[in-house]
Structure 1
Amino acid sequence: MTRQKGVALVLVLWIVTLLTIMAGSFALSMRRESAIMFGLKSVAQAQAYAEAGIAMAQMMMLQNDPLKRWQADGQIYEFRFDHALIRVQMLAESGKVDLNQADLTLLQRLLSQAPIEPEKQTRIADAIVDWRDKDDTAREAGAEKSEYKKAGLKYVPRNEAFQSLEELQMVLGMDSGLYDWLEPFITIHSGKSGVDLQKASAELKLILQDEDEQSFKTGMKNAPSASVPVTQVDELPGDDLDMPETGDEQDNSSNTDVFTIISEAMVDEEITATVHALVKRVDEGGAPFSIIQWRPKYSKARSLFAVEMENY
């Protein structure tokens, strides 16, 4: 009888231990699922706030008062909305290098700061021009049909204008690292051979400046860092937003026809989400803006929160 009681006690202890392990595992699983759900909820909230930042930027660019109107010149606007901290940056496409209009000299100047060897900088610049020109004669360091075939590629240059920025990745010699470096500085929507430096980002101004030609030869990593202004918006407009009425004339000299809006929202002090919107100004009536491209969760972009707040 005593032996049977001992066996029963051991069985009970094993069952209790097993139930304890199962309960602990279940609790751990529930905590993990709760953390995942909380993270997904926070990301979804941040994404919604980032989209709200795009809408706010569009409204602020329509302000009648030029002192209140937000500018598409690369500066960053920071404001709090509900439970989120939002930063918005607007970049005029006229303040970028147009792949279809820029001459070889401008392309070479831009690529001179790229983190690649000087020989490759020359090859890429020539290859870009060869891609868009209408002939099949390769430039000295460029590439046309024969060079693409020798490289084992199953496509050849378009010999027409670039239809999208992503098409640049097909140019012979282009890689993902170089494309990611170039992407903030290039466009196909400017329609201008030059760059409007008043609307260019601080980084591009630094690259294209004329004061220190030697800095173009030292590489971006050795050039002085660009300072990006951050403007804190303490009070958001409400129903009294000073918007232009239909038919009213507005000074749009500080605006541009096509521009990029980057909106990044932060919730819970660490969860962020970003939206990139390529927007065109429409003056014919109806909606004031049309969306050309919308890129949520653009992970390769540099965080706007990486820029330190200064007093401007």
Structure 2
Amino acid sequence: MASSNWTEPRRWRGLALVGVLWVLVLLSLIALNISATSRLELKLAANLVEAAQRRHVNDAAVNWALWSLLQPGTAGWLADGSRRLLSLEDYQIEVAMQDEHGKIDLNEGNPLLLQGLFLAVGLQPEVAVDLADAILDWRDSDELRRLHGAEAEEYRAAGLVEPANRPFERVEELRLVLGMSPALYEQVAPLLTLYSGQAQVNPLVAPQQVLLAVPGVSEANALQYIEQRRSTYEQGLPTPPFGSVNASLLNSNMPGISYAIETAVSKAGSIVSRQNLIIRRRGGMGSRFEILSLSSPQVAPEPGRDPAVPGEPL
């Protein structure tokens, strides 16, 4: 009997010890969970802060370009696609601005410029003619096939969507034109526009590949002219005419109205965000602008970042 009385308290003490241990285990699990949650919340908060910083830096880059457009005469940039660099704290910004009059208008552009563009990117002459005619057949309102073009019958035979027979509403529609490959589209799309409304291009702001689309222009001619126009612009001098070429394809007197602005933001040597937009002056040459299109192409995530974490931009 005495032995039973002795072992009873020991048993209760053992049970109490086990209970204490379980409580400690539960408290440890709760602490670990709180710690993990706190780390995640801190990471999310840091990502949100950095995303906000990137947005502000991108906005600063766009405003820098708009500021340039508001400068009188040649005090602003020559909007020929040249890239400019700016540093803001830990970020490096690259900005390019292109006057849309320097591109070939997909709806109004002269067929010779369309053919010349395809030749400039390396297509054979007969393929360049076929593609130019196919574009003209797509954008016109009739169903009459041009000599080298394509209408509904040719598209059905190729298993493709029939031509719209209306003006292009987006440059991306060019992907649907018979004969257009993905690789070719990537080459020519940056040189085309819907916002010029002109059959000609402005040589004062045209990119090199667009200048090469003008029949009779060599690469050496184009490069020499680009250097010449930049030099005269910086000096505030008039730029000489662009050689002895087909004048019906060029117009140097078109004032800039619509512009493409591209920004790339880098940090520690890696691009962290991009932004592409097209803006237009309100009221022609006014000081207010409207956005015609806006896109933010994705970039690869930085090493060590988890792209699946909410709030962390790629």
**TM-score normalised by the chain length of structure 1:** 0.65
**Residues in 2 aligned to 1:278 and 1:266: alpha-carbon distance in whole angstroms:** 22
Q: Work out which structure has the larger RCO, using CA pairs closer than 8 Å and 6 or more positions apart in sequence.
A: 1
Q: Is the 8 A contact 1:279 1:289 kept in 2?
A: no
Deviations 1:7-44 (A, max 9, x none): xxxxxxxxxxxxxxxx99x9999989977875665455
In the alignment, residue 266 of structure 1 is paired with which amino acid? S
Identify the residue that residue 260 of structure 1 maps to in structure 2: 260
Q: How do 1:1-312 and structure 2 match up within 5 A?
A: 41-64=49-72, 66=74, 68-114=75-121, 120-153=127-160, 155-208=161-214, 210-211=217-218, 256-283=256-283, 288-299=287-298
Q: CA deviation at 1:49?
A: 0.8
Structure (1 or 2) with the greater helix fraction = 2
CA RMSD of aligned residues (A): 4.1
**Residues in 2 aligned to 1:180 and 1:279: alpha-carbon distance in whole angstroms:** 22
**Residues in 2 aligned to 1:150 and 1:49: alpha-carbon distance in whole angstroms:** 50
Relative to structure 1, the CA distance from residue 149 to residue 110 in structure 2 (aligned partners, 3 Å threshold; closer, same or farther) is same
Relative to structure 1, the CA distance from residue 141 to residue 36 in structure 2 (aligned partners, 3 Å threshold; closer, same or farther) is farther
Deviations 1:234-275 (A, max 9, x none): xxxxxxxxxxxxxxxxxxx89611111112222343242111
Q: Is the 8 A contact 2:257 2:284 kept in 1?
A: no
**Residues in 2 aligned to 1:76 and 1:126: alpha-carbon distance in whole angstroms:** 34
**Residues in 2 aligned to 1:254 and 1:192: alpha-carbon distance in whole angstroms:** 9
Q: CA deviation at 1:134?
A: 2.7
Q: CA deviation at 1:144?
A: 0.3
- In the alignment, structure 2 segments of 5+ residues that lack a partner are 1-30, 231-252, 300-314
**Residues in 2 aligned to 1:64 and 1:281: alpha-carbon distance in whole angstroms:** 15
- In the alignment, structure 1 segments of 5+ residues that lack a partner are 1-22, 217-222, 231-252, 301-312
**Residues in 1 aligned to 2:80 and 2:298: alpha-carbon distance in whole angstroms:** 23
The count of corresponding residues between Structure 1 and Structure 2 is 261
Task: Look at both structures and tell me which one has the larger radius of gyration over its CA atoms.
Answer: 2
Q: Is the 8 A contact 1:72 1:255 kept in 2?
A: no
In the alignment, residue 264 of structure 2 is paired with which amino acid? E
In the alignment, residue 187 of structure 2 is paired with which amino acid? W
Q: Is the 8 A contact 2:98 2:261 kept in 1?
A: yes
Deviations 1:135-157 (A, max 9, x none): 2122233210111222223x422
In the alignment, residue 50 of structure 1 is paired with which amino acid? N
Relative to structure 1, the CA distance from residue 174 to residue 37 in structure 2 (aligned partners, 3 Å threshold; closer, same or farther) is farther
**TM-score normalised by the chain length of structure 2:** 0.64
Deviations 1:90-126 (A, max 9, x none): 1011000011112222111101133656554333222
In the alignment, residue 129 of structure 1 is paired with which amino acid? L
In the alignment, residue 171 of structure 2 is paired with which amino acid? L
In the alignment, residue 194 of structure 1 is paired with which amino acid? Q
**Residues in 2 aligned to 1:140 and 1:65: alpha-carbon distance in whole angstroms:** 46
